[in-house]
Structure formats: C-alpha cells, structure tokens
Structure 1
Amino acid sequence: MSMSAMSEKEFELKRQGKITRLTNRTFKFDPRVKSGWFSAVYFLKTAEIIKQKRPKQRVTMQFFQKKEAILCGIDEAIALLHSFATNPGELKICALHDGDKISPFETVLTIEGYYEDFGYLEGIIDGVLARRTSVATHVYNVVQAAGDKQVIFMGDRDDHFSQQAGDGYAAYIGGAAAQATHAMNEWWGKAGVGTMPHALIQLFDGDLIKACEAYVATFPQDNLVALVDYHNDVIADSLKVARHFGDKLYGVRVDTAANMVDQYFLNNRHEFGREDLRGTNVRLIRLLREHLDQAGFPNVKIIVSGGFDADKIRQFQQQNAPVDSYGVGSSLLKVNIGFTGDCVLLNGKAQAKEGRQYNDNPRLSQVEFPLI
C-alpha cells in the first residue's frame, strides 16, 4: 500500500484549522498489517474464535493512559483503522485530536463495531499512541523549558531510521518545527535543517576555516553555522571563524562531550571550583558570548547540543545562559507513556474486566468516513 506524504495544501488547511485530521494518504503502512503480521497472536486467535462461535457482537473499545501528556498518534490510529479494519465505514469512532492535553485515565479514543472487524488492531493502536504521545510530550516539555529559544529536533541517531517520519510528526505536534532530516518532516510537509558535523572538519584535516569555506561555496544560500568544539577549544575557534567570515557567520554550535573540559578552562585554572565545567556548560557559553561581544561579533548566534533534556535546558534558562537554540536528541525518544485498550461495552451494555468500565468523555468528537 503506497501512501504519499501530506500535501502542502493539506498541511496549510490543517494549520489553519480548516481540516482537523490527517488522512490515511499521509501515512505509510506495511500491508502485512492486514494479515495480522504485527498483531499479538492471541488477538488473531480471538478474532477467529469469535467469527466461528460468537459473530456480530458489537463491542466498544476505549483507550487511555496514566499521565499528564500531549496526545499524538490519534490521526495515525484512525487512518490505520480506515486502511485495515473490515468495513471501516460501519465503525463508530470518537476521538480527541493530536496535540490535545490529556489527563491520567482520560479516554482519548473509542471504537464501536463488530469485534472481528477491528479487534486484532488493538495492540498496534496502543503502540502507535504510546510512541507518538511519548515523543510529543517530551518535546513539549523541552519547548516549554526553552521559552522563546528555538529547539532543534536531532533524534536521527538515537533510534531506528524507520521511525523518523512518525517521530518527526510527533515532535512537530509537541512544538519543534526545526528537525534534522527530510524524513522527519515527511508527514507535515516541510524539509530538514542542518549545517555541519564533526566529520566535515575531519575531512579537511581538522581545519575549521577550510571546512567552513567549503560549506559556504557548496551551499551559499544557507546560514553558516560553524561547529566549534572539534579541537575542544570553543572560544578560540569561535573567534577565529568569526574574524575570518565576519557578517557571513550566522552562528556557532557547541557540542562538547560530557566527559571533556574545554581548553579555555585548562588554560585558566582559576575557573575551577565554581561549577561543573565538563561538557557544554553555562559558564563556557557565558564566556563564549562575552568574548564574541568584546571582539565585535554580538550578532553571532550560539547553538548548543549534547545531552540536553528538559531539566538541563531549564537550568540553562534559569541561569540566563546566552543560548539562541537548543539541539536535543535522545532524551526525546524514550517511550514512557503506555496506552491501554479495553473492551468495556458489549452490545451497548456494560461488560468489562473488574476495575475497568466505560468512561465517557464529552471532549471526544465523532470521526466521519470517508476521510479526505
């Protein structure tokens, strides 16, 4: 089943609120979902038993989780149902929207229909909602911690590449529109952003100036952001590249490893004892800003990356660290919000395992088929 990315027109209509859901044309699903390849075997056995012994039983399945969170994955789950459920138009689906703030145990999605038509998709829907909501919530928390500073989603190296499109969409829902790969932008119609890795400098024998010159010559339309921690001498290299490129230098990125102490501190031992000087730290960034300003480069922006999460960003913000953008990766991809799907009504009457019951949510809206 081949499905194209969301068109620019669809993206703009959704941004304006003129359409409220993405469609099954947005997502790329493995066609083996239909055969049950990705479903737990007990769901497949249950569907077969019901077909033979108790067909046409109308159930209501509801989904919830247990934290304060930013919901994501709803549109994907609906598209999944539309693509693989039997007779999807006969299902009654009510749902919240991607981007909604949700509470513990709040019902986010209900599906009403014959069990054998959709029941085998329960675990897949749980997984979709769990991953997308976890990423969206982590990104939202980071964006809130960063305030008016830009957050760049750099999660390409922290998980399997096949997850990038969905993770990128979830990051967008969480509030991060600047993302590292084109695939991350696939579902919502934009393009990846980025400048240089350490490998580019290495390929020019460690010569940062030559690497930057090659970058400018090859991508003259881009903003030049120099990666300045290659020699573990952030301030000296930032000043060197700023003096060489002048107004052509847009910014510098600091990505000092957590076990390293920058050369500036090794040359200025009186700095030791004030705070932890390893990695990309507030003191280093403050000194970098001071040196750039004193040298006549107040417009050069500072981007930081390496081990940032909501707590570390919050610490930087509380200390008024002169950061313009935060690059964040691995901390955003931890799946720690699990969803549960339960069948709670049978033919319109309460029937569920002990401790679970139908939990009506007036915030849900019914999904109309066919989708756009």
Structure 2
Amino acid sequence: WFWKKNRIELVQGYVNKVDHENKQLILNDNDPINYDQLIIATGSKPNRFGWPGQDLKGVQGLYSKQELEQLEIDAPDKEACNRAVIVGGGLIGIELAEMLRSRDIPVTFLVRESSFWNGVLPEGESEMINEHIRDHHIDLRLSTNLVEILADEEGRAKAVVTDKGETIACNLVGLTAGVTPNISFLENSGIELGKGVKVNRYLETNIPDIYAIGDCAEQEKAIGNRRTVEAVWYTGRMMGETVAHTICGQRRKYSPGHWFNSAKFLDIEYQTYGWVFSDQNRREFEEHFHWRHDKEMICITMAFNSSDKKFLGINTFGIRMRHEMFDRWLTEGRTIDYVMEHLRDANFDPEFYSQYEKEIVDSYNSAFETNIKPKKKSWKRIFKSA
C-alpha cells in the first residue's frame, strides 16, 4: 500500500546494465526500463579483503535486508550459534555485537586498532568504549587481525584463525570492516567511476540526466574536511532532498553544512557536531578539552583552536546535546569560552535526568585557568536558533 499511496512503481530485480544513450536500464531478466532522469542510490556493500574462507556459509556482513534475514536463520539463539566472531570495529560491528548479545550469544570481537575506533575517537572516549564493550561481556580483542576462516565438512564456517596464531571456534563470522560503494554493475557504462560514482556539487554525473546520491556517490572534490565518500544516513537524506529539487526544476547545489552524526554504542548515545579529530589525526592547532564522569559512562570532548580559542566541535557520550545550538555556534564562530558559558542551552536530556554542566565547566576552568560561570538555560536564546 505504501508504494501505491505514494504513486511509486516498485520493480523488484537487479540492474545489469545502464544504457545512457537510449536512456534504458536492462534488468537481469533482460526487461528494459526507460527513464527520463536516473538517480543512482545503490548504497554500499561490506568490505571483503580476500580472506581465505570469506565466502563460506555462515559468513556475512550487516548491511542489507537479506543479510539481516540470514542472521535470523544462522543465529536465532545461543543453541543454534554457540559463538560469533565479528571482524572489524566501528558502528556496524558494535551494532551486530549488541544484536547477538541480546540473544545471549557469546561474541568475540576482532579489532585491528589498539583501541576501539581510535581512528575516529580521541583516546579518552575510545578507552571508555573499550570498557563498556567488555562490561557487556563481549570478548574484545584489540590489535588483532583475521587471517583465515576455517570450514567444516559441510562448507560452513567453524572457526577463525587470528594473526596471534589463535584458532577461535564459532558458528557465525560477521565481516564489519567497513563498506565500499556498490557500483560494480556500472563498469563500462560510460558513467565516470572512482571509489564511487563521481558527482559534482549538484550531484550530477558526467552523463546528462544521471545523478548519484548516498553511500555510492563520490564528490569530485572534498567539501571542507569531509571525505569524498560519506556513508552516513544524514548525508544520504540531504543528498536526496537536493536532487529532488533539481529534478523538479529547481537546480540546487549540495551544501551539507557543518558535520554532524549520531550513533549508539550499546547503552551509550553518541553525538558529534563540527570536527573533533582523533589523537592520530588531530591538526597541529587543534586543542582538546576532555571531561569524563567519575562513575558513569558519560564524557565529552571539545575541540578548539589553540591560538584564538575558536570552537571547532564536540563529541558527547551519554548527554544529549541540541544540534541546532551547536550548528549556530559553529556558524557564528563562537569561542569555547562562550560555549562553556551557554552550555546549559545545548542540553536537551529529559526532565529529571542529571545535569553535568557545572562539573564540566568547573573542570574546564581548572584545566585552562579560567573563571567561567555557566548561565541559566534560556529558552529565548534556544528558540532564536530554531
């Protein structure tokens, strides 16, 4: 009913070829579909790096609906799946681990980095997530790589071998070592490809009337500090809105604004606004202020320019912060001192939740020898940013 209600003709099948000269798609059953304008939004596929055994039964990623359905078959409970091994740390890996642990399935988590997601998160945050993962009885193996997946006599995964020389018995292997644009069907189509489908700032390809959006799109030039390929739901939505205007006759430039994202690490909600780089990727002018609660899994990290104290971004774990406020402060070029002074305006945790702004500001004052007094929350200031 959804498709009919929204006047969408749903065709289930696979596209084998894009014939841009005749403006046709050729499906796997050789049926053609004519188009006036084509939007390529084929997403990503899980990375596979040529590991021996990566195509065995019981080995899968977690991206598509089909992979979710296969997970239901292979790991319905701990009786059917005695142990799962997840390969690759990141947002998809932690989500798969949480799903499996919700069914009491033992999980071993192989992460090549020395600390979880430390290519993205600063050290203090990454270490807190390490602790939280282990608190959930997940066997986290840092600085550990997959070497091989072993098969049983029926061709199913029965164990993995790590670069530490250890063999870990398992019934399921989840490959979550990132994703790559799903564009192989476009080879020899005439559409320019790189890592993804190459597009300009209007999300147009090199072929007239063909656009690409979402995980499969690759910007010809990076926008600010952003990557040329952004496999993030928020950016996919914004790209869709942008192209919708264009095909309706109002050509619009893709302008994603300040970087933001959100996710969840098991019980910990995560939000990021602006740019807070990991220790290994931090720019020379970028200084960090980190605060962590002494008992709870709650912390924040703020980044600012060391020369003029201009606020650059924030990561927050366990405290909900208002996107509109940080977006406005970044646009206005506020200093970190200003952000600290008005921090209560940004908090939108529900009523009766603990508030930590005073502790955060006190810690900042102590670290940087300032004397900032946090202002009371002002709905007038908050609504001004709406």
TM-score by length of structure 1 reads 0.22
Structure with the largest fraction of strand: 2
Ranked by relative contact order (alpha carbons within 8 Å, sequence separation 6 or more), the top structure is 1
Structure with the largest fraction of helix: 1
Larger radius of gyration between Structure 1 and Structure 2: 1
